[in-house]
Amino acid sequence: MQSWDNIVQTAQLGTEKRQPAAPPEPSLAEAVSAVQQHPDIDREEKFLQSAALVFNFRQCGRLPISYTGDGLQPAPAEELVHCSPAAHQALKDIFIFESPGLLALWLQQAAEKQKIARPEVLPVLLDTARQQRVLRPMIAPVLGRRGKWLAQFNPDWQFTTDLPDDELWDTGSPQQRKQVLLRTAQSDPAKALQWLKDTWGKENAAARTELLKDLPPSLFEADLPWLESLLGDKSQKVKDEAIKILQRIPASSLVQRYWELLKSCFQIKVEKKMLGLSSRKILDYNEPESFDPGIFKLGINKINTSGSKNGITENTMVIYQMMQFIPPHYWESYFGESAEEIFTLFSKDEFVEGLLPGIGLALSKHPDEKWATIFAKDERRYFHDILPVLTGKMREEYIIRNFPHSADLVIRFLTEQQQEEWSLEVTRVFMQYAANNHYTCNRGFFNKHIHLLPIRIAGELDKFSADDEYSKKGWTEIAGYVLQLLSIKSQTLQAFQQ
């Protein structure tokens, strides 16, 4: 429109140099002329009034945009039933409190009962899935057919798909291919391994590294030589990921190499006492003067111990590292002794006793409940890595006994590795700790982990109090907030039980 172009040019040059030319449109020219000839307004005002006239004339004369694409198809009918009004209200309350823990609980309950979210909250759920990738697998089942239909209108929401896993593996995004590989590794390991081998030569180093991450060691038991061949990969990151998996496979050449080196360092000897009238078994430890340099390319690191005051050498640290990957029952076969006797032999020598945590670390990679139980009975030391192996009452007792001096480690296990709800006894110990540490056990902490707390603790919150007056007020506010979260948790569970 020529008149509007004149306005823009005048704005760029300034009203001191020129005024807009007369519009060519007759109906507009008369009005602009009246403004320009008005004796009581200055040049700037004339320009602004003229611009307003031209702008409105331009807007009124513009035709609306017409849609020329295909007609919009309505959302398909749902196959599953929407959640109840009570469950819907619980979800809305969860969004208000922004609690990932309660949202995960709600999504789990909905999936178990085969219920889907109501249409009003679908945009919020899709936005949540966009921001929190970890929740996507849990959110997708409750979106229903309408949620997947709605996702097509926003590129940021298009993480859901109805494509079969085979097609996703061939055409999906790197993230989708990774997820489908992990799923298939659990349901059909042979198929997942074949996929990996077929695509290996087509991927760059970064993609190969990402594909290897988090894969279960059992996936490679059918073709261990192929995994071991990756030790010769050009990418160091690929080799590092392959080493991490091989260290968790007892039959791998890597673990066997560690074991051969370790066996040469430990022997059981019989020591005579009382002029030969009695004897006892002792653990004889002899570390080599040096190790084959090749071992330092296979997951073992050189650690400088020059500042150590307890006699620990670099070679001792090499041995300690290798012990972390040896299945504990190997020691029984090698020494011909029971697990209890071997633990005792290690404990008798002050120096060798320092290597015991190495076996404890091995339990996290090669679980053995018998060995874990033996470690748990040691009341002098805390072995954090046996917690995932312990079960039931034994784990609970071990946590409670060691909580006062290892709270940070225990809480990390409870929040990162334990999926089931805490027992009431463990929760009581934790809540007393939280009362004195409300800066770390704050609203954000409880928002994230409230689903792990039993609802029954709500009736006992007034029993927990900070030791100093300064902390009491802060804890009182946190306790009130926890009570609200527990109320929503109760509301959620009841809504899905009806």
Residue whose tokens read 């819907």: 88
CA distance 467 to 259: 50
Per-residue three-class SS string for 337-364: CCHHHHHHHHHHCCCHHHHHHHHHHHHH
pLDDT along the chain (498 residues), means of 10: 74 73 75 80 83 81 66 87 96 96 97 96 94 90 93 84 82 87 92 94 94 94 93 94 96 95 91 69 87 90 73 87 96 95 90 91 94 94 93 94 95 93 96 94 96 96 89 92 97 93
DSSP structure string for 192-233: HHHHHHHHHTTS-HHHHHHHHTT--GGGGGGGHHHHHHGGG-
H-type alpha helices, 83-164:
85-97, 100-112, 122-131, 136-139, 144-151
Question: CA nearest 317: which of 277, 289, 355?
Answer: 355
Type of residue numbered 309: K
Residues 283, 345 contacting (CB under 8 angstroms): yes
Q: What is the pLDDT of residue 487?
A: 97
Residues 83, 471 contacting (CB under 8 angstroms): no
CB-based burial, 367-392: b 16+ in 10 Å, e otherwise: ebeebbbbbbeeeeebbbbbbebbee
Residue 164, judged by CB atoms within 10 A of its CB (0-12, 13-18, 19+), counts as: exposed
CB count, 10 Å around CB of 143? 20
CB count, 10 Å around CB of 486? 21
* Boundaries of every domain in the chain: 2-60, 81-157, 165-246, 264-390, 391-498
3-class DSSP state of 456? helix
CA distance 453 to 460: 12
Q: Which two tokens stand for residue 294?
A: 């090749």
Query: Radius of gyration over alpha carbons of the chain, in Å?
Result: 35
Q: Which two tokens stand for residue 375?
A: 């470690």
CB-based burial, 216-247: b 16+ in 10 Å, e otherwise: ebebbeeeeeebbebbebeeeebbebbbebbb
CB count, 10 Å around CB of 189? 17
Residue whose tokens read 């996929």: 195
CB count, 10 Å around CB of 68? 5
Q: pTM of the entire structure?
A: 0.76
Q: Which two tokens stand for residue 11?
A: 């704005």
Own/partner pairs, 440-445, CB within 8 angstroms, 24+ separation:
441/478, 442/478, 443/478, 443/481
Question: CA nearest 313: which of 285, 349, 284, 287?
Answer: 287
